[in-house]
Amino acid sequence: MTDVVNRRITLAVRPVGFPKDSDFELVEDSAFVSEPAEGELLLQTLYLSLDPYMRGRISEARSYAASVEIGQTMVGGTVSSVMASHHPKFKVGDRVLSYSGWQDYELSNGQGLHKLDPVHGPNPISTALGVMGMPGLTAYVGLLDIGQPQSGETVVVSSAAGAVGSVVGQIAKLHGCHTVGIAGTAEKCRYTVEEFGFETCLNYNDDDFALQLKRACPDGIDVYFENVGGKVFDVAYNLMNDGGRIPVCGMISRYNDTGLPNGPDTLPRLMRAVLTRRLLMRGYIVTDHGNRLDAFMSAMSGWLKRGEIRYREDITEGLENAVAAFQGLLSGRNTGKAIVRVSTEF
C-alpha cells in the first residue's frame, strides 16, 4: 500500500480554564507505517465524535478514565473504514465503530472494534456516533433507568438542544410526560420545540429564568435531567417534587472552572432538599451500562423508523478544524450532535 501521512491532533499543554488553540498541536507523521502486520488492519477515520467528557480527559483531576498524556493523540469515538486488512474478522471496505481518536489513520489489532451493518444500519452511518450510539444510549439509560418517568409527570431537561438532551426529551414525551427544555439561546429553544417536540423551552440567560421555569412547571418537577450544573441546577432542584429523580449526566458549565464558584455555599440547602423531599440524585457513566445496549438499539431503531425520534448533527469539515469545533461544543455553539467529517473517501 502507498505510504500515507497521518495527521493527528495531540495534547500539547494541559488547559487552565477554557481550552485554547495552543493547548493542542496538529502533528503530521510522514513515517507512519500504513501496512498492517498479521492480525492487524488499517483504519481511515471517516467521522470523529466530539463530546463534553473530553474536557475531563485532558485534565489531571481524578475521573473515571485515565487522562490523556501530553503528546498523546486526543481520544474520541470514530466511524472508520478498513483500508487494508490482515485480520480474519475484517475485510477492506468494512465500516467500523472504533476509538481511533483525533487522527486520519490508525493501525488496529481489532480489539474494541464493532462492525457496522451496511444494510440494516445505522443510516446514515454517522448516527453510530450520535442518536444510535453513545449519546443515544446515555439518554436512554439516564432517563429510563434512573429517572423512571411515569405518564403525566413533568420532565425538565437541561442542554435540551444537545445530542443527549434532545433525545431525553423525546423519549420522555413518548412515555406520556410533560417536557420542558432548557437551552442557552432563543434560537436553540425554538429548534427544541419545533424540531424535537418539547412542549416548551426556556433560555437560561433570560433575567427572569427562575420565574419562567416555575411557571412552566406549575405542578413541580418530577425528573430533572442534569447536563449543565451551575445556576440552572440551583433553580431546578428547588422545584423538585417529593420523590423526584435527578439523573446526573454532566456538569458542562463547571468543566473549565479553576476554583470554587463565587457566591454563597448552596450545598446545605441542596442536601436539605435531598433529605426532606426524598430525592434520588445519581451520577452515572454510560460505559457501565453495556448490558442495556441491545434493548436500546431495538427501541431506538423502532422509534427512528416510525419517525418518533428526530435528531440533528452539527458537522464540521476537516480534522484541522476539530479544536475549534471542540471549543464550540464547550461554549454551547452547537445544536445537536457535534461531529467532525475527517474524510469523504468511501
Name the residue with cell 457535534: 338
Distance separating alpha carbons of residues 243 and 224, to the nearest angstrom: 12
**pLDDT recorded at residue 268:** 86
pLDDT tens, residue by residue, 20-49: 999 999 999 987 878 899 999 999 999 999
Of 74, 52, 60, nearest to 7 by C-alpha is 74
Residue burial 216-225, b: 16+ Cβ < 10 Å; e: rest: bbeebbbbbb
Distance separating alpha carbons of residues 203 and 190, to the nearest angstrom: 10
Of 127, 131, 130, 119, nearest to 94 by C-alpha is 119
pLDDT at 2 over 70: no
The domains of the chain, with CATH numbers, are: 6-130+312-341 (3.90.180.10), 134-287 (3.40.50.720)
pLDDT tens, residue by residue, 92-118: 999 999 999 999 999 999 999 999 987
Phi, psi of 13 (to 5 degrees): -145, 145
Of 95, 101, 112, nearest to 27 by C-alpha is 101
Q: Which residues contact 200 (CB under 8 A, 6 or more apart)?
A: 180, 181, 193, 216
**pLDDT recorded at residue 345:** 60
Would you place residue 212 in the very low, low, confident or very high pLDDT band (cuts 50, 70, 90)?
A: very high
SS (H, E, C) the chain: CCCCCEEEEEECCCCCCCCCHHHEEEEEECCCCCCCCCCCEEEEEEEEECCCHHHHHCCCCCCCCCCCCCCCECCCCEEEEEEEECCCCCCCCCEEEECCCCECEEEECCCCCEECECCCECCCHHHHHCCCCHHHHHHHHHHHHHHCCCCCCEEEEECCCECCHHHHHHHHHHCCCEEEEEECCHHHHHHHHHCCCCCEEEECCCCCHHHHHHHHCCCCEEEEEECCCHHHHHHHHCCEEEEEEEEECCCHHHCCCCCCCCCCCCHHHHHHHHHHCCCEEEECCHHHHHHHHHHHHHHHHHHHHCCCCCCCEEEEECHHHHHHHHHHHHCCCCCEEEEEECCCCC
Would you place residue 253 in the very low, low, confident or very high pLDDT band (cuts 50, 70, 90)?
A: low
**pLDDT recorded at residue 118:** 76
> How many C-beta atoms lie closer than 10 Å to residue 112's C-beta?
10
**pLDDT recorded at residue 258:** 60
Would you place residue 254 in the very low, low, confident or very high pLDDT band (cuts 50, 70, 90)?
A: low
State the pTM of this model: 0.90
- What are the Cα distances from residue 23, in Å, to 17, 26, 60, 288, 342? 11, 10, 14, 30, 21
pLDDT at 1 over 70: no
**pLDDT recorded at residue 267:** 84
